A and B are shown apart, each in its own frame.
Chain A
Amino acid sequence: MSLIKDIKPAFWDESKPTDGSHIRLFNYAGVWKYAVLGALAIALLPLIIMLLINHYEYKKAMKEKMSGSIVCFVSNTQRTLGSRISERKAILSYIANDSRLNEFPDPDGLAEILSDLKSTFGEFVDLSLIDPKGNRKVHAGPNHLRNKADRDEVWYREAYGRGIYISDIFLGFNGFPYFVIAVKGENDQGNSLVLRASLKADWLEEMIHSLEMEPTFDPFIVNKKGVLQTTSRSYGKVFESLPLPLSTDSHNSQIRSLKDHSGNPIVLSSAVIEGSPFRFVTVAPLKALTGGWFSVSNRFVVLVIASMIGVLIVTVAVVTHLVNRIFEADRRRVTVLHNIQYTNKMATMGRLSAGVAHEINNPLAIINEKAGLLKDLITMEKNLPHEKTVELVDSILSSIKRCSAITHSLLGFAKHIDVQYQQIDLERVINEVLLFVGREAEYRSISIDIKVQEDLTSIESDVGQLEQVFLNIINNAFEAVDEFGQIDIELFSEEPEFISVRVVDDGHGISEENLKHIFDPFFSTKGEKGAGLGLSITYGIVEKLGGKLDVESEKGEGSRFTVTLPVKIDA
């Protein structure tokens, strides 16, 4: 956990300003999150899409390649098997049309033929000659297979009709697999006969399993009814029904992707072995086909993932760094503004001091003359009327009161450096501020009117800052008006929970151009004299107090500055 604390950047926990101001600070953590998410989305999305496309394309290519391989295998094997069977058909056909069979029935002759046959094609087991009625006329070879095939009458009709019949594979009494080939022949006399041979079928299975193929291939033979003629690795033993669907029409090699009876995705290719009732089928699990994907494409995937991690790290680092910079800059700005405010306050006090000195000087002059007169009267006159003495002293005392009011105000102003929130009567603050400019107003014959809305509540705010704000605005009004000018100050509440103070003057106003920049720091219309900070600082203070400052003005007509402050501070 402490590691996280170390890594966590400084701006993460900044949600509340610590200098007592109430403006909403820049939401650093929020901006960081959005920036990181945005950058990552844009940077990683293409990579992810690329990764997915690559995966898909690769899978497709592998599948096609492997499918091609399986189809090729099935096609070739089918042809090989077909040609093998054709060879046996051909030799039987030759025998069936051989003149030697004219001497039928001749069991010995047939036996000889059988033994010749067996010397080349060892799988032949027996031979029979069948007449058109289906009766076996001659037989050579062992008898144990006789009864097996005879039961099925359809075969000889097919043999006579089509000229060729090949049976399904069946089990002999000894447990070995056999099948029958029967061909029609014609002897010299023009008589048709059917030559029927039984052949061992185990060479079929042996041949299939000795073929060169992918290790995951499962090759087998089924008949037209879908009964297995050889044993499949995964889909049943010989003579069981194949649990997979096969379409029965197509003679060409076909390939299908499907799910087997256990739900595994497989690829199945099959082709009819020409001239036989058999169909050669090969099944391969789909995973096996595409299994190679992980090993070959691995390097690519690793590279992409490494890139993504790299992007993630760089993005987070860069965004964190940038937000940190913003945060620090903001911090510094707040500090600088704080300092400027202080400096400005001191400068304002400097400006005030001249006015204050004058304000105090007049009562002092009065005290000077009254005290001087008192002394004169005491030293020069013999009879000093009591009332006159008391009158003079009273006059002195009230002048002193005047002075102390001014000095107290000034002291109060200087004292409020730290922000301290309390319930404040705005009218009182305004009046205190007006004390500083009262004399100037008199000299320049500027009339000041204050209008206070009835039942105006007090607000929660800081006296020092309010005084600064109003002093600045009222001073500006004084500078704007000419002799005999008019300044109106209104206190009212337009919105609930807010109180507004509006200072309206009929001075020279502010042009539209300047109005746009009026609150910019270092913007001044006073040429050399103004630093241009007054209004920008005032604006900042009002913001800090949770309020807002608006200005309306017409060049040549006058200006209206409205300060709106919340009655309660939102903690």
Chain B
Amino acid sequence: MKVLLVDDEKEMVAALAERLSLRDIDAEWVTCGKDAIALLGENHFDVLVLDVKMPGMGGLETMEELQKIKPESKIIFLTGHGSTSDREACEKAGASSYLMKPVDIEVLIEELKEAAKS
């Protein structure tokens, strides 16, 4: 499975990518929405994991742009604060799921597999 992690917190996203790799999941990471869109143009990812709150292009906006390019993209949202309104907006936009940070790696992998299947 190939996933793309998008989160502005470099330390976290790099470590997470490495952990996923150790579990035989091909994870790449970028720190902003723009980079994600650029990458999506040339590569295929089974699932994208997006951080909701990012400077510049936020998670939702990135999702919109991504869906323009690849409408069938599967997206999982990660968030640091989890307000209900955010959750609703994300689900309405068509996200596969919505997870709170710090994320349990096992739970994430479960969700990734679920998303990739659907």
- Footprint of B on A, CB under 8 Å? 354, 357-358, 361-362, 364-370, 372-373, 376-377, 380, 392, 395, 399, 442-445
Q: Is the CB of B58 within 8 A of A443?
A: yes
Query: CB-nearest residue of chain B relative to A357?
Result: B81
Choose among A366, A367, A372 the residue that contacts B19 (Cβ–Cβ < 8 A): A372
Q: Which residue of A lies closest to B14 (CB)?
A: A369
Residues of B in contact (CB 8 Å), total: 20
Asked whether any CB of chain A lies closer than 8 Å to the CB of B102, the reply is yes
Chain B residues whose CB sits within 8 angstroms of the CB of A362 once the complex forms: 9, 12, 80, 101
What 13 additional pairs, Cβ within 8 angstroms, besides A370-B11, A376-B22?
Answer: A358-B80, A362-B9, A365-B102, A366-B15, A368-B102, A369-B15, A373-B18, A376-B19, A395-B11, A395-B15, A399-B11, A443-B53, A443-B54
8 closest Cβ pairs, A-B complex? A368-B102, A369-B15, A361-B80, A365-B101, A365-B102, A366-B12, A358-B81, A366-B11
CA distance A367 to B11 in the complex (A): 9
Are B81 and A445 in contact, with the CB atoms below 8 A? no
List of B residues within 8 angstroms of A444 by Cβ: 55
State in angstroms the CA–CA spacing of A178 and B72 once bound together.
Answer: 159
Instruction: Determine if A365 and B19 form an interchain contact, defined as CB atoms under 8 angstroms apart.
Output: no
Q: How far is the CA of A377 from the CA of B21 in the complex (A)?
A: 11
Minimal beta-carbon separation of A190 from chain B (angstroms): 154
B34 to chain A, nearest CB (A): 13
Q: State how many angstroms separate the Cβ of B58 from the closest Cβ of chain A.
A: 7
Q: Which residues of A contact B53 (CB under 8 A)?
A: 358, 443
Q: Is B39 an interface residue (CB 8 A)?
A: no
Cross-chain contact of A372 among B55, B80, B105 (Cβ < 8 A):
B105
19 A-B pairs with CB atoms under 8 Å apart are: A354-B81, A357-B80, A358-B53, A358-B80, A361-B81, A364-B101, A365-B101, A365-B103, A366-B12, A368-B101, A368-B103, A369-B12, A369-B102, A370-B11, A370-B15, A395-B15, A399-B11, A442-B8, A443-B53
When A358-B81, A443-B53 are in contact, do A366 and B9 touch as well, CB less than 8 Å?
Answer: yes
For B81, list chain A residues within 8 Å (CB). Answer: 354, 357-358, 361
Q: A365 to B54, Cβ gap below 8 A?
A: no
* The one of B8, B54, B56, B101 that contacts A361, using a Cβ cutoff of 8 Å: B101
> Which residues of B from 14 to 31 have beta carbons under 8 Å from A?
15-16, 18-19, 22
B7 → A minimal CB distance (Å): 9
- Docked complex Cα distance between A366 and B12 (Å): 4
How distant is B68 from chain A, measured CB to nearest CB, in Å?
21
Contacting residues, chain A, for B101 (C-beta < 8 A): 361-362, 364-365, 368
B93-118 CB mask vs A (1 if < 8 Å, else 0) is 00000000111010000000000000
The verdict on A442 contacting B15 (CB below 8 Å), with A358-B80, A365-B9, A365-B80 known, is no
Residues from chain A with a CB closer than 8 A to the CB of B11 are 366, 369-370, 395, 399
B residues with CB within 8 A of A: 8-9, 11-12, 15-16, 18-19, 22, 53-56, 58, 80-81, 101-103, 105
Q: A365-B9, A365-B101 are in contact. Are A380 and B22 (CB under 8 A)?
A: yes
Question: Roughly how many angstroms separate A377 CA and B15 CA in the complex, as a whole number?
Answer: 11
Q: How far is the CA of A444 from the CA of B58 in the complex (A)?
A: 9
The distance in angstroms between the C-alpha atoms of A361 and B22, with both chains bound, is 24
A378 and B16 CA atoms in complex are apart in Å by: 16
CB distance from B79 to the nearest CB of A (A): 9
A372 lies within 8 A of B9 (CB): no
Q: How many angstroms from the CA of A372 to the CA of B9 in the assembled complex? A: 16
What is the bound-complex CA distance between A443 and B53, given in angstroms?
7
Residues of A within 8 A of B19 (CB): 369, 372-373, 376
CB distance from A231 to the nearest CB of B (A): 122
> Complex formed: what's the CA distance from A370 to B19 in Å?
9
Q: Which residues of A contact B103 (CB under 8 A)?
A: 365, 368
Inter-chain contact A443/B55, CB cutoff 8 Å: yes
Closest to A442 in B: B55
Q: B54 contacts which chain A residues (CB < 8 A)?
A: 443
State how many angstroms separate the Cβ of B17 from the closest Cβ of chain A. 9
How far does the alpha carbon of A49 sit from the alpha carbon of B43 in the complex, in Å? 107
Please indicate the chain B residues that have their CB under 8 angstroms from the CB of A395 in the complex: 11, 15
- Closest approach, in angstroms, between the C-beta of A53 and any C-beta of chain B? 83
How far is B53's CA from A108's CA once the two chains are assembled, in angstroms?
Answer: 162
Chain A residues closer than 8 Å to B16, beta-carbon distance:
369
A367 touches B102 (CB 8 A): yes
Nearest Cβ on chain A to B62's Cβ, whole angstroms: 13
Chain B residue contacts of A443, Cβ below 8 A: 53-55, 58
CA distance A257 to B117 in the complex (A): 132
CB distance from B6 to the nearest CB of A (A): 14
Contacts of A369 in B (CB 8 A): 11-12, 15-16, 19, 102
Q: Which residues of B have CB within 8 Å of A368?
A: 12, 101-103
Instruction: Give Cα A367–Cα B12 distance, bound, in whole angstroms.
Output: 8
From B105, which residue of chain A is reached at the shortest CB distance? Answer: A372
Q: How far is the CA of A357 from the CA of B16 in the complex (A)?
A: 21
| Contact with A364, one of B22, B55, B102 (Cβ below 8 angstroms) | B102
> Which single residue of chain A is at the shortest CB-CB distance from B8?
A442
Q: What distance in Å separates the Cβ of A81 from its nearest Cβ neighbour in chain B?
A: 124
Q: Which residues of A contact B18 (CB under 8 A)?
A: 373
Instruction: Kindly state the separation between the CA atoms of A364 and B16 in the bound complex, as whole angstroms.
Output: 13
Chain B nearest CB from A448 CB (Å) reads 13
A45 to B42, CA, bound (A): 101
Closest to A355 in B: B81
Closest-by-CB residue of A relative to B23 is: A376
Bound together, the chains give a CA A392 to CA B11 distance in angstroms of 10
Q: How far is the CA of A444 from the CA of B55 in the complex (A)?
A: 6
Option from A357, A380, A445 in Cβ contact (under 8 Å) with B56: A445
Distance of A190 Cα from B113 Cα, bound (Å)? 180
Let me know if A445 and B80 touch, CB within 8 A. no
Residues of A close to B102: CB separation below 8 A: 361, 364-365, 367-369
Instruction: Kindly state the separation between the CA atoms of A364 and B54 in the bound complex, as whole angstroms.
Output: 17
